[in-house]
């Protein structure tokens, strides 16, 4: 079984009932439903967070990983995880031309990049994350934090933080040492979405237990703490640095079936929302559900000092509508998507854009001005 999106279910629903519900095949009814929008703190008792399953057989690609010679060594590469084949597909960005595939994953989910453009892919199904050199076809390192890795983040020094959804925890590995990680957790983030580094190397992420929470691993500290948040998160999603702010995701922004990104500043133990972005689409009743929004800046994520101008995401509601979709939105304007991948994977879940260490290639600046402003 594979996770499609994370939805809240009322307390008292048993795991056995959930598993039985998805054994019949097709898309289950465990996605967001009317009345499930309010923050968990509004409920009188603890709610159970469980994945929304799509019970389809997995058709793994048994071929070898491959990558075409790049048309330009400075090409930007879009990596997309596909849980239907357990592969990660590689595209030229933003043209969308398929240039390769990486094989042999186990429920690949969220991804991240380091300053060189190396790509890290979380294997939700086997408790690992795998690192590939930019444009490479063989793993160069494997991280084994355990749990259910949903995503990751790399700071400017090369430290790698891998987030497990359940149990909610983050494991931090010093640069260049995939065998020596330290794990942190906080009971307020019993379930934890991808944590992201800010420019000061603080780790910030959204999670939930009896209520939604912002959890932080401050730089130099050995304990994960909780921060207050001036905004409202209805259904947490991933967090990442956008070049100017910490961008916190929400799968049900404002209580609607649309993904929100809250640009925020961290001061002490308070995360202050400055502005917000709402992503819209038309593939399935105008719903959007992007668990891992990836904000594309002029350089690879840890090195960005200017706010990115586009965001790429796998819209999970499109899968419920019968087809996978990877879309791009102007950022931070948001609104409707002006660009989508022409031949997306069947069940895309996570994605990144990787540049060379020198940053975005000038050759791409005029290809798709509506959604490659950061490129």
> How confident is the prediction for the chain on average, in pLDDT?
83
Least trusted range by pLDDT, from 65-69, 179-183, 368-372: 368-372
- Whether residue 286 contacts residue 342, with contact meaning beta carbons closer than 8 Å, is answered with no
For residue 345, pLDDT beyond 50:
yes
Q: Is residue 354 part of a domain?
A: yes
Full residue range of the structural domain in which residue 206 is found:
62-364
What's residue 136's pLDDT? 94
Check residues 72 and 226 and name the one with the higher pLDDT: 226
Q: Is residue 46 part of a domain?
A: no
Q: Is residue 75 part of a domain?
A: yes
> pTM to 2 decimals?
0.86
Q: Is residue 124 part of a domain?
A: yes
Give the mean pLDDT of 194-216: 97
CATH assignment at residue 101 = 2.120.10.30
Q: Is residue 51 part of a domain?
A: no
User: Each residue of 31-51: pLDDT tens digit?
Assistant: 333 222 233 332 223 344 544
What's residue 11's pLDDT? 31
Q: Is residue 34 part of a domain?
A: no
Number of domains in the chain: 1
What's residue 39's pLDDT? 34
Give the mean pLDDT of 214-226: 96
Residues 232, 255: Cα–Cα separation, whole Å:
10
Check residues 367 and 232 and name the one with the higher pLDDT: 232
Contacts 24+ apart (CB under 8 A), 258-265: 258/286, 258/287, 258/288, 259/288, 259/289, 259/290, 259/293, 259/313, 261/293, 261/295, 261/311, 261/331, 261/332, 261/334, 262/231, 262/233, 263/332, 264/229, 264/231
38: tokens are 């309010």
Q: Is residue 57 part of a domain?
A: no
For residue 281, pLDDT beyond 80:
yes
Look at residues 140, 139, 141, 136 and name the one whose alpha carbon lies nearest to residue 67. Answer: 136
Q: Is residue 20 part of a domain?
A: no
List CB contacts of 244: < 8 A, sequence separation 6 or more.
263, 306, 307
Least trusted range by pLDDT, from 52-56, 129-133, 180-184: 52-56
User: Each residue of 251-270: pLDDT tens digit?
Assistant: 999 999 999 999 999 999 99
């Amino acid at each position: 079984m594979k996770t499609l999106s994370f939805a809240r279910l009322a307390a008292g629903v048993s795991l056995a009932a959930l598993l039985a519900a998805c054994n019949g095949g097709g898309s289950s009814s465990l996605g967001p439903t009317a009345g499930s929008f309010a923050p968990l703190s509004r409920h009188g008792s603890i709610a159970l967070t469980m994945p929304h399953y799509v019970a389809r057989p997995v058709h793994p690609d048994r071929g070898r990983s491959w990558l075409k010679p790049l048309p330009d060594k400075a090409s930007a590469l879009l990596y997309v995880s596909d849980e239907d084949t357990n592969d990660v597909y590689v595209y030229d960005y933003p043209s969308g031309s398929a240039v390769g595939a990486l094989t042999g994953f186990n429920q690949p989910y969220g991804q991240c990049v380091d300053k060189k453009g190396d790509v890290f892919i979380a294997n939700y199904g086997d408790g690992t994350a795998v690192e590939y050199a930019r444009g490479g076809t063989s793993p160069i390192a494997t991280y084994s934090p355990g749990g259910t890795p949903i995503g990751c983040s790399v700071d400017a020094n090369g430290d790698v933080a891998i987030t497990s959804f359940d149990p909610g925890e983050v494991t931090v590995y010093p640069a260049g040492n995939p065998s020596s990680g330290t794990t942190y957790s906080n009971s307020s983030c019993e379930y934890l979405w991808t944590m992201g580094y800010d420019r000061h190397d603080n780790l910030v992420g959204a999670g939930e237990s009896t209520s939604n929470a912002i959890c932080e691993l401050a730089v130099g500290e050995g304990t994960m703490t909780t921060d207050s948040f001036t905004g409202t998160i209805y259904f947490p999603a991933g967090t990442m640095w956008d070049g100017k702010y910490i961008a916190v995701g929400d799968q049900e922004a404002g209580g609607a079936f649309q993904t929100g990104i809250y640009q925020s500043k961290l001061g002490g133990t308070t995360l202050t929302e400055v502005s917000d972005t709402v992503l819209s689409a038309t593939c399935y009743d105008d719903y959007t559900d992007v668990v891992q929004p990836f904000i594309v800046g002029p350089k690879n994520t840890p090195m960005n000092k200017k706010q990115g101008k586009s965001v790429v995401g796998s819209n999970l509601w499109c899968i419920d509508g019968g087809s996978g979709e990877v879309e791009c939105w102007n950022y931070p304007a948001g609104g409707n998507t002006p660009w989508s991948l022409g031949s997306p994977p069947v069940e895309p879940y996570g994605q990144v854009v990787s540049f060379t260490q020198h940053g975005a290639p000038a050759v791409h600046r005029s290809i798709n001005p509506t959604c490659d402003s950061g490129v």
